[in-house]
Amino acid sequence: MTDQQWYSRYSRHFLLNNFDETHQHKLASASITIVGMGGLGSMAAQQLAAMGVGTLNLVDHDTVSLSNLPRQFIYTQRQIGQPKVYAAQQQLAQNNSACTINPFEQRAVPDNLAEVCDTADALLDCTDTVTTRLQLSAYARQVNKALFSGSAAGFSGQVIAISPHPEAPCYGCLSALNAYEPQTCLANGIFGPVVSTIALYQVMLLVYFITGIAPVPWSTLHCFDATKFNWRAFTLTPNPQCRLCQ
Ligand SMILES: [Zn+2]
């Protein structure tokens, strides 16, 4: 890409009030690990690659299936049966060849989190199992990395920025709350626009963190109810019952 092409490509970023070339360079220097390449991860990857994030590490053990296509539109009918991380790599490269994609065709487990996350500046939790979320949050806390966690099921979703600060609450503090019961797409179905909405909120938080163009609302759980077009916010505090950080 020539300098002229670079300015032209990102020209609408530079028209933003508080966004200049240094912010674009910060995105280009950033390495992000996305754990889970379903509805959340695939949407987030598309937006991040398009915005000019330099490196994306994609982690998923799954293959593209027919039932993914109504909301995971990075994938095509021809890619059914292919590993998601390689299918996504092909599609993302067509949008922005300057983005380096590192595919990890594996389930994220404690034993391999260092391998897939160590070089990342921040982590996106786009998984669909509570066990993996907790393991990822425990790892993020251990190595002081920022974690942007999203989940969606049915007509609702939630997103939270978990601070790398050792005193800040973690995902375990949230799941230790009695009232907190995450739903799953397999049990509750999923309305496609909801999962895309949540993924893009994760991206906003992440981009604010990387560039500093706006403050990150750390430790605030944002809950979206799509049937009421309603967002509610709750402040998360360290939970004495948390088995990860207390
Ligand atoms: Zn905790």
Does residue 162 sit within a domain?
A: yes
Does residue 242 sit within a domain?
A: no
Per residue in 214-235, pLDDT tens? Answer: 999 999 999 999 999 999 999 9
Q: Tell whether the model's pLDDT for residue 184 goes beyond 90.
A: no
Is the separation of the CB atoms in 93 and 137 below 8 Å? no
CATH number of 23's domain: 3.40.50.720
Does residue 216 sit within a domain?
A: yes
Ligand 1 centroid to residue 241 C-alpha, Å: 8
Ligand 1 centroid to residue 100 C-alpha, Å: 33
Does residue 35 sit within a domain?
A: yes
Q: How many domains does the chain have?
A: 1
Does residue 14 sit within a domain?
A: yes
Per residue in 100-152, pLDDT tens? Answer: 999 999 999 999 999 999 999 999 999 999 999 999 999 999 999 999 999 99
Specify whether 185 is catalytic: yes
CA max distance for the chain? 55
Q: Tell whether the model's pLDDT for residue 186 goes beyond 80.
A: no
Q: How far is CA 107 from CA 40, 117, 123, 206, 231, in A?
A: 16, 13, 15, 23, 32
Residue 197's domain spans which residues? Answer: 3-235
Backbone angles phi, psi at 166, to 5 degrees: -60, -25
Question: Which one of 99, 117, 126, 185 is the catalytic residue?
Answer: 185
Ligand 1 centroid to residue 224 C-alpha, Å: 23
Does residue 51 sit within a domain?
A: yes
CA torsion angle for 116, 31, 203, 83 (degrees, to 10)?
A: -40
Does residue 65 sit within a domain?
A: yes
Does residue 246 sit within a domain?
A: no
